[in-house]
Structure 1
Amino acid sequence: MFLSSSVGALGVSLSLYILFRKWQFRQRAQGCSLPPSRPARFLLGHALEIPTENEARVFQQWAEELGSDIYYIDAAGTPIVVLNTIELANELFEGRSAIYSSRPGSIMMNDLMGWDWVMSNMPYGQSWRERRKLFQQHLHPSNRGIYEPYEQEQVNRLLARLLDDPQGFLTHARHVVGGLALTLGYGLNVKAHNDPHVEVATAATKAVTDAAVPGAFFVDFIPALRYVPEWFPGAGFQKKARIWKGMMEEMRDRPFEDVEAKIASGIPARPNFVSAAFDKLDPSKDVPHQRQVIRDTAGMIFAAASDTTTSVIQTFFLAMVCYPQVQRRAQEELDRVLGGRLPEVKDEPDLPYISAMVKEVLRWRPATPIGIPHLSTSDDIFKGYFIPKGTIVIPNVWAMLHNPEVYPNPDEFNPDRYLKDGAFDPLVRDPGTMAFGFGRRTCAGAHIAESMLFLTIASVLSAFSISKPVDENGKPVDVKPEYNRGIISRPVPFESFITPRSAEVARTIRNLQESDSA
């Protein structure tokens, strides 16, 4: 009886809350209408229709159905606006950055799972600025000497792992990225297999990217549900949040505490972000606060790289399986320019086709197909439409990067689309202007990611041939580009056949491996 009464009272309270929210919007609309929208239910609006897989493609289809590149979703009283073109995204996130630079306060992800410390999730304000400033002080694009040697080291290790275990290429991609993040952030080395830091980061970031999908958890639309106890019917999200929060804390705190202990005991460590930040710590100011900012910024380096860059490298392997002609063209350029040696970052200006491949990998299957949502911090009138304060604004990056007017035959992997007469065509939009975010919230580490992608792609294709797997009869097996759900998209595990291009390159990799372990 008590349980039945509690459920009924909760239902009435939630209904009144939703009605009040909608009444507020109408009062503030100043006679303007909301953007175009699909037919909605009385209370829930479109909450039950919001996709939890293939979100970007569904959002693109809705734009086509409505005949509008901007439209409105009512998620049980929570306003959502979806943008499907780069022009609209730039008008809001660049031209009106004072209003559209914040982030939604996800109850599930930030409050229950504890991810409110990550710079990409933070609202625009002092805490965000502190962490971004600290990152740029140490890892600015001009400080190439800090991160490029570590990139070279990790890529050399990737080549050795591919030589020893070619079938583990998807796992090796995680380790090369995790290795760079751990070394750069903390001065720690990654174990060759099943590194505990990398494994917990993989589990923790998978959980948070699943939780970040708009509509994945109803508590994000009806915040009062956060107070429902774990034992209450339908409150299974509370148990998930508790388990996932433990993963997050281990990922963020364990490597930080490891390097902090080394600093305290005077054990010499490789140059790294945490040590450098502690060297510049101001003892006259709030030391615990400064420590927290350092910890959070280092954790952001680890978390961001562990998922997005890993996804892009795995997509590169998938593209090479599906488009062998692109691989041959790339290897022709590498052989002609390098003459058989392995590439270095400094070779990038002489390898335009490889650089174009980096752009196409970012575009073809973007790691964040719907982008990280922004939040409006005041009421706004945009193109005659009313956008209420507190609106979640989603940039549909997939639609932007698969616009056939900008990228003809967008489903085809074609690096040539960026080149004209052997040089970059300035008339073709760089996918990085969309793949790495917008306005003030553009990814602070985009330059490191692109540099790492170039070196990885150039090195792997210099050393190895990647082809379709074969069946028991030795016949090639087709591989379809399939991706999982989540705000960060990863290829569904697939097979490939990876072999060294020559005995000489295999010896070169072995020599690199021996010098690395010496």
Structure 2
Amino acid sequence: MSYFLFLFLAFVLWRRWKVNTSNPGKLPLPPGPKPLPIIGNIRDIPLGVPQWELYEAMALKYGDIIHLNVLGQSIVVLSSLEAINDLLEKRSAIYSSRPRSTMMHELMGMGWSLAIMEYGEEWRRVRKAFHQHFNANEADQYHDIHVYCAHSFLRRILRTPEDLFTHTRHLFAKSIMKVTYGIDVKEENDPFIFHAEQTIAAFNTAARPGRYLVDLMPVLKYIPSWFPGARFQKDALYAKDMSQKMVNNPFIVVKEREHSGDAEPCVVARLLDEVPDGPRREEEEDIIRKAAGIAYAGGSDTTVSALQSFFLAMTLYPSVQLKAQAQLETVIGPNRLPTPADMQDLPYIVAITKEVLRWKLVTPLAVPHTTTESDEYRGYFIPKGTIVMGNSYFILHDPAVFPDPHEFKPERFLHEDGSLNPDVLDPTAACFGFGRRICPGRAFAQDSLFSVISSVLHTFNITHAHDLDGNKIPVLPEVTDGLISYPKPFACSIKPRSAAAEAMVRSTE
């Protein structure tokens, strides 16, 4: 153990020496909390506390560019669209060409993900295949599937409202699997959903810098899984198995259906039909396989978190629910359910969707990147190898832009006459990432959210749950820590607004 401690201390000191020698102009580092010897700022970002909440306080104190040192590793957090545009976009050759994938991500075999794939020819081809069928211009073709899945969700929460969190995960897995692979997932215990959830959870855990010691000391990757303290190797092997099954298994189903002539209409089938036979077909199929996996992993997870935040907000802010239901009654009436085609006539529902994306961000911190060379910005020195993160959370919780930023207020996106106000910063400017790594499926996700949120508000009342003694069960707006954030489990009551509303839900069967 003392030998490993010696190596670790030597590694930290070497990193510090390397930073000092690469800064010949002796420029200052960006401002931030004062680091301690050896361990740096590790005590300033403790595990168990959402990083973005810590960075929010630092941004208010130090400004929109913050520097931390964690065991010799430089971290820079950017908390304004100006800084993000100047660095992550305008200087993309330094900041965006090489995403910061952790050593754990490498051990987990997650190189297929656009979020951590190095920018280059393969990245462009995978993103093009994804964008071809999920961009804003193609979004309208999926409206019927959004409605179909929203109606399925209504029936599920009507039967077992206590299983809300399970239903939210099933809902978006159902829509993404149908669109991408033409696969109808099982109502219970679906293996495709299980593999995806396990993969996303592992990716999320490994994304936080410093979560695993192997990220700070990559040489540890050679330690066998049976060695004491090498639990990370077992975690990586399990995650790799889940990851490969998530990406490969549904793709294989489509290929088998194509071979037998039973292919369902879907994105993967269309992409495969466009590939000519020849020596490059296998390579092209691998691009399609990766693009489809990204669609499933990214699309379903983003909307799951956002929908759970919606139910949390409706429980805590009943007045918002009442205003939304009043608009739905006026525009939609009692005899049908809303669809994406009603979006322009339901500005308050659109505002709720925007506020859901702003209030509890799905990805409060953009995917970290690593600088490929040293840089100077605003007179500050940014060392080569620095982890750089866009602080989406603060951008959408800056009190100068969004007064009372921690309150759920859809009205902030509206004019006094109730119409949408285009002058207010749209949450999509930050909540789906930045620059060329912005989520290409954001239009699909927003349409899906609108369909579900509008349908739920039109047919159900969401209120506080009560215990057996009739006491209201407290609900706190707390979320999990990680690259992808979810509301922590909470109790709420979900009941049909009326017998007619219940009958309308049942009629969708």
- Bucket of the pairwise TM-score, normalised by the shorter protein: over 0.9
Aligned equivalent of 1:516: none
**What is the aligned counterpart of 1:195 among 170, 190, 205?**
190
2:507 aligned with 1:511, yes or no? yes
Q: What displacement does 1:429 show?
A: 0.7
Q: What displacement does 1:442 show?
A: 0.7
Aligned equivalent of 2:432: 436
2:296 aligned with 1:296, yes or no? no
Per-residue Cα deviation, 1:84-112 (whole angstroms, up to 9, x for no partner): 22332222223323332234443443211
Q: What displacement does 1:230 show?
A: 2.0
Q: Is the 8 A contact 2:101 2:369 kept in 1?
A: no
- Structure 1: runs of 5+ lacking an equivalent: 514-518
**What is the aligned counterpart of 2:312 among 318, 321, 336?**
318
Q: Secondary structure at the match of 2:136?
A: coil
2:487 aligned with 1:497, yes or no? no
Q: What displacement does 1:47 show?
A: 4.1
Aligned equivalent of 2:481: 485
Q: Is the 8 A contact 1:51 1:215 kept in 2?
A: no
Aligned equivalent of 2:147: 152
Aligned equivalent of 2:276: 282
Per-residue Cα deviation, 1:274-310 (whole angstroms, up to 9, x for no partner): 1011001132352221111111111111111232210
Structure 1 letter corresponding to 2:186: K
Percent identity of paired positions between Structure 1 and Structure 2: 41
**43 and 227 in structure 1: CA distance in 2 versus 1, 3 angstrom threshold:** farther
Q: For structure 1, which segment, 169-178 or 388-397, has the greater mean C-alpha deviation from structure 2 after superposition? A: 388-397
**What is the aligned counterpart of 1:418 among 402, 413, 416?**
413
Alignment of 1:39-188 (within 5 A): 39-47=34-42, 49-52=44-47, 53-65=49-61, 67-188=62-183
Q: What displacement does 1:145 show?
A: 4.1
**385 and 195 in structure 1: CA distance in 2 versus 1, 3 angstrom threshold:** same
Q: Distance in 1 between matches of 2:86 and 2:279?
A: 39
Q: Is the 8 A contact 1:108 1:241 kept in 2?
A: no
Alignment of 1:446-485 (within 5 A): 446-485=442-481
Q: Distance in 1 between matches of 2:164 and 2:494?
A: 9
Q: Distance in 2 between matches of 1:100 and 1:138?
A: 28
Structure 1 letter corresponding to 2:270: A
Q: Distance in 2 between matches of 1:362 and 1:252?
A: 27
Q: Distance in 2 between matches of 1:103 and 1:500?
A: 50
Structure 1 letter corresponding to 2:304: T
Aligned equivalent of 2:209: 214
Q: Secondary structure at the match of 1:18?
A: helix
Q: For structure 1, which segment, 155-164 or 11-20, has the greater mean C-alpha deviation from structure 2 after superposition? A: 11-20
Q: Distance in 1 between matches of 2:46 and 2:421?
A: 37
**183 and 279 in structure 1: CA distance in 2 versus 1, 3 angstrom threshold:** same
Aligned equivalent of 1:360: 355
Q: Secondary structure at the match of 1:56?
A: helix
Q: For structure 1, which segment, 35-44 or 240-249, has the greater mean C-alpha deviation from structure 2 after superposition? A: 35-44
Q: Distance in 2 between matches of 1:150 and 1:76?
A: 49
Q: Is the 8 A contact 2:100 2:387 kept in 1?
A: no
Q: What displacement does 1:129 show?
A: 0.7
Q: Secondary structure at the match of 1:142?
A: helix
Q: Distance in 1 between matches of 2:426 and 2:400?
A: 14
Structure 2 letter corresponding to 1:92: L
TM-score (norm 2): 0.95
| Pairs aligned (count) | 505
Q: Is the 8 A contact 1:311 1:491 kept in 2?
A: yes
2:299 aligned with 1:305, yes or no? yes
Alignment of 1:307-346 (within 5 A): 307-340=301-334, 341-346=336-341
Q: Is the 8 A contact 1:99 1:376 kept in 2?
A: yes
TM-score (norm 1): 0.93
Q: What displacement does 1:12 show?
A: 4.0
- Structure 2: runs of 5+ lacking an equivalent: none
